[in-house]
Structure 1
C-alpha cells in the first residue's frame, strides 16, 4: 500500500430503490452521487441489489415442486429490470461518477444477453467515467437461489486507487473465511461489504472483519419500506402481513480497530460520511498483519481458482488431427 493520498472522504449511501423500476432507481442513484460529491466524497458505496432490487418477503409463487404462472410473470418483470454490464444504465452511472470525480460501487442485479440467469453483482465505476469491473456473488443465500445464479472466481477484483486498494465481498459471502482470506491476500485497504442483512449480528461481523483484516470496512444496506413495491405485482399478496418497514438498514463505516466512524444508520434513508486516515492501517497492523507476519505458509496455504467457468467450450473439430484420422479410417 504505497498511497499518494493519505486521507480520503468516503460515504455509505443507505437508500430505497424504486422496486421493479430500474430507470427510476438509476435516476435516484445519479442524484445521490451528485449529493455525496457535494460533500467532498471520493468513494461511495451503495447497497447490495440496489439497482434491480431485492424482493424481500416475496417467493414468486414457488413451493417445493410447484411454480405458478403469476410467479413466472413477476420473475419476468424482475428480469427485465436487471441490467447488462456494460449497458445504458452503467453509462448513466459512469457519467454521474465522472461528474462527481469519485469512485462509485453499487450492488446491481445483472443479466447476460444469452441466458436468463441473474447475478447479484457489485459494480465498480471510476472517476474517469469508466466501468472498472465487477464482482458476482459466489453463493446466493437460501431463497435467493430462486432468482440468482452463482458467480465464479473470475470476478474477484481489487482496484488500485490513489488512496489504496478497494474490493467488495457481498452480504453472507462475508461469512466465508476462505473468501475473506483471498481478498485480504490481494492487499485490500478498504473492504467494501454491500449487504441485505439488517441484524445486529451483522454489525458484530463487520467489526470483526475490520479487526481481522485491519482494513477500513464500509458496509451499506437498504432502507426498504413495503411501500417501495408496486401494488400491481401479480404476487403482491405475498407481502400481506409483512411490516410496513421490511428492512431497517444498518449502513456503517468502521476503522481498522473495529471502531465506528459513521453510522450505523437505522430506520431511514441517509448518507454516512467519514474521513479515512489511511496511515491508520499501518498502526493497526503493527501487532497483527493477517497477510504478513501473522501467516504460516509452511503450515497452511490458500489456492484460489480465478478461471472463468463455462459449460460451453466450442472447438472447430475439423481442424483437429484426431478428427482427420477418424475420417481417414472410414
Structure 2
C-alpha cells in the first residue's frame, strides 16, 4: 500500500487562533487537491510555539504582564469540547484526509494547558489525542504533563499511526511504547531546529523500522505581532529555521531536511518498505530478547482501530 503524505513547515498567525485555523484550512485544501492522504502540522501550530517567552517568571515571583501573556495564550488555544473540534473534523471529512496537528490544548475541567497532537480521521473524526508526557525545560511553566493514557496509536486505512512530540523522542521508553504497538508511520512534530535533530529522526526510523515524519515550523522574529516582540528582543531574527524531513524505515532521508524557508514536503510512502526493513532488525520481534527484557507502560491504551 502506498500513502501520499505532506509535512507542513509553515508559520502560524501567532496567538490568533481564528487566522491560524483559516491558514491551516487553506493549506489542507491545497494539498488535498494534490492527493495527499495524511497531513502533519508542527508542534503547537495553533496558536503558535512561544519561543523566547519567559511569561514573566522567576524563581519566587511572577509578573502581572506574564500572567496576562499566559491568559492570551490560553484564550487562543484549542478546546476539543467546542466548535474547534467540529471545525477540524469537518475539514478532514470534506478534504478526505487524515490530519495530525500540533496544538496547545485547553480543557474545561481545569486551567492548565497541554502541548498536544490531535489525530483526525476523514471518516471517524477525532481518533484521539497525544498530550506531551514531559514538557522540556521551562515549557513546564505553561504546559502540564500527561500520563500513560496519552501514549495513543491508531490502526487506520493508511497504516498504523503514532508518535511523540519534540524531546519526548529522546525518552527511550516512550519511543519503545510506540514501537510495541507496531507503528508504521511515526509522527514527530517539534520545535527543535538544530541540525542534530536530523540524526534523531534517522535514528528513530532505523530503531523502530518505521517511516518518520519530522515536522517543524519556520518562524522569524518579525512574524511576532508588535505587542509580543519585547519577549524576543534578544533573540536572533531567524528564530526557528525549520528542519522538517521524511525518513524511510532504513534511515534514509526521502525529503528534506528543509531549512530557512517555509514549505511543504510531499512524498509517497510504500508501507511494504516497513516489512522489508525487518529482515535484519525488528525491535519488537526477532531482535527483542523478551526472555531478558520486559517493558510495562502504565495505562497505555491498546491501538485503536478505525
Maintained 8 Å contact 1:97/1:129? no
Match of 2:78, SS state, is coil
Q: 2:296 maps to what in 1?
A: 303
Shift of 1:232: 2.0
Once the two structures are superposed, residues 121-165 of structure 1 have per-residue CA deviations (whole angstroms, 9 ceiling, x without a partner) of 000000126111100000000010110000111121111112310
Once the two structures are superposed, residues 191-248 of structure 1 have per-residue CA deviations (whole angstroms, 9 ceiling, x without a partner) of 0001110001110010011001110000100101112222224xx4221132222100
Q: Which moved more, 1:30-39 or 1:237-246?
A: 237-246
| 1:281 equivalenced with 2:279 (yes/no) | no
Shift of 1:93: 1.8
| 1:257 equivalenced with 2:243 (yes/no) | no
Maintained 8 Å contact 1:95/1:129? no
Partner Cα distance (1:12, 1:307) in 2: 27
Q: 1:160 maps to what in 2?
A: 155
| 1:172 equivalenced with 2:178 (yes/no) | no
Q: 2:304 maps to what in 1?
A: none
Larger radius of gyration: 1
Q: 1:130 maps to what in 2?
A: 125
Structure 2, unmatched stretches of 5+, are 302-306
Partner Cα distance (1:214, 1:168) in 2: 13
Maintained 8 Å contact 2:191/2:217? yes
| 1:269 equivalenced with 2:268 (yes/no) | no
Structure 1, unmatched stretches of 5+, are 1-5, 309-330
Q: 2:238 maps to what in 1?
A: 245
Shift of 1:114: 2.3
| 1:39 equivalenced with 2:68 (yes/no) | no
Partner Cα distance (1:73, 1:301) in 2: 46
Normalising to structure 1: TM-score of the pair?
Answer: 0.89
Partner Cα distance (1:303, 1:18) in 2: 41
Distance 1:209 1:139, change over 3 A: same
Query: Out of 87, 98, 123, which is 1:92 matched to?
Result: 87
| 1:16 equivalenced with 2:33 (yes/no) | no
Query: Out of 27, 32, 37, which is 2:22 matched to?
Result: 27
CA RMSD for the aligned pairs? 1.3
The structure in which a higher percent of residues are strand is: 2
Match of 1:26, SS state, is helix
Partner Cα distance (1:262, 1:86) in 2: 36
Partner Cα distance (1:129, 1:264) in 2: 32
Q: Which moved more, 1:53-62 or 1:222-231?
A: 222-231
Partner Cα distance (2:280, 2:232) in 1: 50
Alignment of 1:44-59 (within 5 A): 44-59=39-54
